[in-house]
Structure 1
Amino acid sequence: MQTWKEMKEIQPLAAQMLMNSFKKDRISHAYLFQGSRGTGKKELSILFAKSIFCKNRTGAEPCLECRDCHRIDSGNHPDLHWVEPEGQSIKKEQILHLQKEFTYTGMESNRKVYIIVDADKMTTNASNRLLKFLEEPSQQTTAMLLTESGQTILDTIRSRCQLLALQPLNSRRVEKMLIAEGVSESNAKLLASLTNNLTEALEMNEDEWFANVRKLVIQLIEVLQNKPNEGLLFINHQWMPHFKERKHLQRGLDVLMLWFQDIINQYLDREDSIVFITEREKLEQAAMRWSRQSSAQCLSYILEAKRKINQNVHPNLVMEQLTLQLQR
């Protein structure tokens, strides 16, 4: 997301608000970008910094070619300062160092910008020190605080920032972005159905463990269709060894749900909604085994299994019961 036009497609409201600040020449001294992982907080802060420093910008749009733009991309702009957690937290000493840096005159101009990543991870002392910094804002200083959890940031800090809430990405948007990143269409559809977090989706695409989840779901369906008497054997000897943690088992059940949703989509001729596009022949065979009504019942069984996993019922017992239910 190099331009404001691209950013508006992802985060229209936040992008428009920041673009308007340039049109009206009213850049606030502090912003709080709040949104879940993968919604573009860091990209938005970098683009905003470019617009602040770029001497050749057109309206809010930075030129992307000048020395300032290139130095921001490379992380070497002397008047743009990043603060990120050291270990598990952002410490008071990091904020003190930032304040010290800001006592010096800007290297390129009088303007300075700082970006605090995971601002919710500031210690109490760091938060109090930042608050004092924000209470005496310089007209030439702009702060950007990035967080997934704005509610954990001090109210006194929040009140001194302009809040921009970033919206989750919709599945079609995530799917297109994944394909643009080189992910296959079939994987993009599956990943976009499981998460609206682009970063998480890309990580899952590179994860061999996740690639095997898809294979295991297809194998389970084939066993249930063709060798139902071997269902419990498959669960105990192939399925459960792969899903050793409850969160992993939940992911496997999520993919299994998508399979039965696809059967229903096939009955309703919702071609665009089908996720398992490379397994169309297997889907057609599955539709002969499970009717639309029984597929809907299977979805209920899987949801109940997910609920039991959250309630700490023994995973093996949950999966064995679910397998018997899906065989009916």
Structure 2
Amino acid sequence: MKSEVFKNQKVVIDRISSMFKNNRIGHAYLFDGENGTGKEVIALHFAKLLLCKEPQKNVPCETCSSCRRVTSGNHPNITLIRPDGQNIKKEQMSDLIFKMTRKGYEPGRKIYIVTAADRMHVAAANTLLKFLEEPEGDVTAILLTNSYQSLLPTIQSRCQRISFLPPSREAMIAELEEKGITMSMAATATMVTATVSEAFELASGDQFANIRKTVLKLVEASNSSVQDALLFIQTDWIQVLKEKEEVDRGLDLLLYVYRDIVAIKAGLNSTPAYPDQKELFEGLAMRMTYSRLSAIMETVLQSKRQLHSNMNRTLLMEQLVLNMQEGLLVV
């Protein structure tokens, strides 16, 4: 996967090497890109370069004690912050700042990497902001996000943004087809991740196929009657999508359904997420107005936000299908 990421993100790798060569290392970076574009892989590569004892042609040597410890995840000067549950909490940021300012590190730069930075609680973001404004010592922050606009503008303005470009979906789909994945499944999987290896793992698994099938059945049920849709949630949906992560994935796939319908209605030629559902989606595109489609997509997005706030998942889905039936926003 590492070689695939480096190949796809050569522009980012070259930019990092150039910054290192010219000794223009900032105190905060924001890596912005879709899931699967390799942000964490390259963040660790960047950290390794900054700590390497014998860099070669502006890339880490991979053999010194520092490089080996970064590879094994045991370098004391690197701190990796991930969401605790669904969010990054204020306490995590406070602990980070305490750790960054105390003694006990090896000589050299201290680096902290915040994954899913857009999922910081407001209090956590404000705590981090104070540290970004007044970093103590030789410190570099690397924030990773797939939702740049969700970050506080004040955090955006204090970081150098490095954008990760996704590979061509058409090329990814073709490569997956060569590996034996059907075109339809490949098209859906490449909406979820921008890495071929991850897309292949998803598309090869039974659970992803089951979630995809369940989402499409929900679309049909919700366009039949509200009773059918509610019954479907109770009898099918909650049996297949049991975990919060699975519901989140299902809501993403549901959003892609209505993206496809809007594209058909608008006459766009973009590669669909569900090429095997063209006939069904064409019928829905004829029956549904743009305003209703927009309302449904917004209510799916709102359901995703409620999911992350720990709302009861069955109740959330029942509320969602009621609003899909009516084309209204969740209140």
Indicate whether 1:301 and 2:283 are aligned.
yes
- 2:45 maps to which of 44, 47, 67: 47
User: What residue number does 1:84 align with?
Assistant: 82
Question: 2:34, 2:194 within 8 Å by CA — same for their partners in 1?
Answer: no
Q: Where in structure 2 are the equivalents of 1:204-215 lying within 5 Å?
A: 204-211=202-209
1:58 counterpart letter in structure 2: Q
Q: Where in structure 2 are the equivalents of 1:59-78 lying within 5 Å?
A: 59-78=57-76
**Structure 1 pair 62–304 and aligned structure 2 pair: CA distance change class (3 A):** farther
Measure, in 1, the Cα distance between the counterparts of 2:98 and 2:212.
52
Q: Where in structure 2 are the equivalents of 1:227-306 lying within 5 Å?
A: 300-301=282-283, 303-304=285-286
1:275-320: CA deviation from partner (whole Å, max 9, x where unpaired)? 99xxxxxxxxxxxxxxxxxx98777336558988858899xx9xxx
User: What residue number does 2:130 align with?
Assistant: 132
- Offset, 1:124: 1.9
- 1:18 maps to which of 16, 19, 22: 16
**Structure 1 pair 303–250 and aligned structure 2 pair: CA distance change class (3 A):** farther
Question: 2:89, 2:120 within 8 Å by CA — same for their partners in 1?
Answer: yes
User: What residue number does 1:193 align with?
Assistant: 187
Measure, in 2, the Cα distance between the counterparts of 1:15 and 1:138.
27
Unpaired runs of at least 5, structure 2:
215-227, 242-249, 262-273, 298-319, 326-331
- Offset, 1:212: 6.3
User: What residue number does 2:105 align with?
Assistant: 107
- Offset, 1:175: 4.5
1:204-228: CA deviation from partner (whole Å, max 9, x where unpaired)? 3243144469999xxxxxxxxxxxx
Question: 2:181, 2:200 within 8 Å by CA — same for their partners in 1?
Answer: no
2:282 counterpart letter in structure 1: S
2:161 counterpart letter in structure 1: L
Q: TM-score, normalised by structure 1?
A: 0.62
Question: 2:49, 2:55 within 8 Å by CA — same for their partners in 1?
Answer: yes
**Structure 1 pair 250–81 and aligned structure 2 pair: CA distance change class (3 A):** closer
1:184 counterpart letter in structure 2: K
Q: TM-score, normalised by structure 2?
A: 0.62
- Offset, 1:137: 2.5
- Offset, 1:169: 2.4
RMSD: 4.4
- Offset, 1:82: 0.8
- Offset, 1:113: 0.4
1:28 counterpart letter in structure 2: G
- Offset, 1:76: 1.4
Measure, in 2, the Cα distance between the counterparts of 1:303 and 1:206.
30
**Structure 1 pair 302–169 and aligned structure 2 pair: CA distance change class (3 A):** farther
- Offset, 1:13: 3.3
User: What residue number does 2:56 align with?
Assistant: 58
Measure, in 1, the Cα distance between the counterparts of 2:321 and 2:53.
61
Measure, in 1, the Cα distance between the counterparts of 2:210 and 2:82.
34
**Structure 1 pair 53–173 and aligned structure 2 pair: CA distance change class (3 A):** farther
2:187 counterpart letter in structure 1: S
Greater C-alpha radius of gyration: 1
User: What residue number does 2:303 align with?
Assistant: none
Measure, in 1, the Cα distance between the counterparts of 2:200 and 2:207.
14
Equivalent residue pairs, number: 259
Measure, in 1, the Cα distance between the counterparts of 2:123 and 2:19.
32
Question: 2:112, 2:141 within 8 Å by CA — same for their partners in 1?
Answer: yes
**Structure 1 pair 193–108 and aligned structure 2 pair: CA distance change class (3 A):** same
Aligned with 1:185: secondary structure? Answer: coil
User: What residue number does 2:166 align with?
Assistant: 168
Q: Where in structure 2 are the equivalents of 1:218-229 lying within 5 Å?
A: none
**Structure 1 pair 209–132 and aligned structure 2 pair: CA distance change class (3 A):** closer
Measure, in 2, the Cα distance between the counterparts of 1:64 and 1:176.
33
Unpaired runs of at least 5, structure 1:
217-235, 258-274, 277-294, 318-328
Question: 1:33, 1:165 within 8 Å by CA — same for their partners in 2?
Answer: yes
